[in-house]
Structure 1
């Protein structure tokens, strides 16, 4: 018998999947190389806002405040999920990455450079999540990208699927009643702000005393 007969062959479907995997790896590496060349890897914010995706980055004071909240709310071996708030990933990872797991759930695939801590997330399919993630996060921080009932409702579904304890939601003040109705969160004194001043007033909501941490 010819020795080559013992070598398993890949199906067309498997081969295509492998090609896609290696192409994604190559693309991710190219982005990392460019970020390194531009000396951006040490910055908190790696990419510019994409307004078509309703991206508005937090200002530095807001970032540091939320990092402090995460740091004080998650213990050794804890797990944090960041939904649609990529501004927070790098500083949170720097602060607690040596003692806790930090996962970014995000629609913008530029942030795949953070793999394996990146999970592609589309609020239109709120339950499309890794099975091992369900009910596994001690803290979920979410910033729904759009100020609409549909977006907050579907993001709330995701939050409920992931969270086993603490929840923080940053969104427009106009969504207060929806956040209370869907998640039972309380309005905080702390208010998030953005690098580009937005016309809409933003608020923060939590199911624990977030303001006490920031005092």
Structure 2
């Protein structure tokens, strides 16, 4: 018998998937290497949206508005958690500099470049958080990746575990009833927008007068 018959072979689809995985790994390692050489490069990295992860980046006006809210509401020495809104991290970090702590909770491991401020987060396991993070954030800003009752419910569990004060949630207008019931947040006049126009109307909810902060 030919020994080659016992050697497992990969299908073309599996081989292509592996190639894509290793290519992505190599790109990520190249980015990490560059960041280790020059920490300032972190501010210039902008990853493409991954639609499979339901990623849709905010437009510049929305980013600046939310950065202003964080800056105004966060006390010196305070802590803010950004859940599933990774493109806010660099603008917020740049604005508040060293006067407060910014943590990014995100599923997409490309954003590990922001370690040690990166915390891997999967909304399917909402309670899987570092012990030191529990009830330690003065402000939590969240943008659940999917417009579903399951996603908002589990993300809300995480928010409750992290927050000790103010909460902002940006999500679809269709989730209004869920957000009000789960977190007792109120609809704001401010509306978030995205770089790529989405069919769903988005809204912002908070447990404080966010609109007055933006005036």
Q: Where does the alignment leave 5 or more consecutive residues of structure 1 unmatched?
A: 1-25
Give the deviation of 1:46 after TM superposition. 1.8
Give the deviation of 1:185 after TM superposition. 0.1
The 3 A distance-change label for structure 1 pair 47 and 197 is same
Whole-Å separation in 2 of the counterparts to 1:27 and 1:100: 31
Give the deviation of 1:97 after TM superposition. 2.8
User: Any idea what SS the aligned residue of 1:32 has?
Assistant: helix
User: Any idea what SS the aligned residue of 2:105 has?
Assistant: strand
Match of 1:118 in 2: 118
Give the deviation of 1:98 after TM superposition. 1.1
Residues 4-49 of structure 1 show CA distances to partners (whole Å, capped at 9, x for unaligned) of: xxxxxxxxxxxxxxxxxxxxxx986522346799x96443x62000
Q: Which runs of 4+ in 1 moved over 3 A?
A: 26-29, 32-37, 39-43
Residues 132-191 of structure 1 show CA distances to partners (whole Å, capped at 9, x for unaligned) of: 000000000000000000000000000000000000000000000000000000000000
1:35-114 equivalences in 2 (<5 Å): 41-43=42-44, 46-114=46-114
User: Any idea what SS the aligned residue of 2:174 has?
Assistant: helix
Whole-Å separation in 2 of the counterparts to 1:109 and 1:204: 26
* Counterpart contact for 2:42–2:113, Cα < 8 Å: no
Whole-Å separation in 1 of the counterparts to 2:196 and 2:108: 19
Match of 1:31 in 2: 31
* Counterpart contact for 2:42–2:114, Cα < 8 Å: no
Whole-Å separation in 2 of the counterparts to 1:67 and 1:32: 26
* Counterpart contact for 1:57–1:194, Cα < 8 Å: yes
Residues 64-122 of structure 1 show CA distances to partners (whole Å, capped at 9, x for unaligned) of: 00000000000110000000000100000111131000000000000000000000000
Match of 1:204 in 2: 204
**Is 1:147 paired with 2:147?**
yes
* Counterpart contact for 1:123–1:151, Cα < 8 Å: yes
Report the RMSD for the aligned CA atoms in angstroms. 2.0
User: Any idea what SS the aligned residue of 1:93 has?
Assistant: helix
TM-score normalized by structure 1?
A: 0.83
Give the length in aligned residue pairs: 188
Q: Where does the alignment leave 5 or more consecutive residues of structure 2 unmatched?
A: 1-25
Match of 1:15 in 2: none
